[in-house]
Structure 1
Amino acid sequence: LMFQKEVAERIAAKPGGKDYGRLSVLCQWRCEVRKLFDVNRSAFTPPPKVTSSIVQLVPRRTVEPECRVAALERVTAAAFGQRRKMLRASLKTLVPDPEPLLAAAGLDPAQRAEQIPVDGFVRLARLMA
């Protein structure tokens, strides 16, 4: 699929990067994601004001571990909604004391959302569902 370059970078971003966010987690949970190449604006007539990128999204046959989409959306919305806060603070919008859930999911409450891999968010969403 073709996306604006910045959107493609967000879809394919890895944990720890500045582009890693909710879109990255949700796309990578359901699909194997690879940014293949950029398409220069000069390839189009009339040329757009942005560069595009081609992204390969291959649906996973099985999604492991499975969780409810709504739960994963809620968890990622809370975690990335206050990006610079630690998980223990950002998840208080969902539960009064998130630390036991974070411990059960094997996550450090002092980490920030952009440091958590996709499977970490999935484990947390399964516990909150």
Structure 2
Amino acid sequence: MGKRSKACLRVRYQETDQMGVVHHANYIKWFEIGRTELLRQLGTDYRRVEEQGLLLPVIEVTCQYKKPALYDDEIHIITTVSDYTGVKLTFAYEVYRGEELLVTGTTAHCWTTPQLKPVNLKKAWPELHQLIASCIG
């Protein structure tokens, strides 16, 4: 298995509906927390990526809801790199409450210039390319 990151947070009241159930759109926000943490564990962050003249826009999202997270739950977001071509990067996510799996999902991204022209990371930033490539199990 490749590199995994774990981010933890507590469900805030503003993230829930009247029933105390997390609104479905918040899981996509939590996916961002997970992939940001994974990049940090690789030794970089989005700020440094942008300073290198690169962007990583989302091009696809999937989310499978299994059980709801509730107000004040402590949740854990497990993030892995599931696919990487040098240009396209896919993260996989699992959201847990304790040992209970609540949500799985993926986000696919494409390395680009600020003008949104696709970039091969192997050429643009070989060191980061190698770190990401090493994450694949």
Same structural fold, with TM-score higher than 0.5 when normalized by the shorter chain: no
Higher helix share: 1
TM-score (norm: length of structure 2): 0.28
Higher strand share: 2
**Highest CA radius of gyration, 1 or 2?**
1
Higher relative contact order (CA 8 A, sep 6+): 2
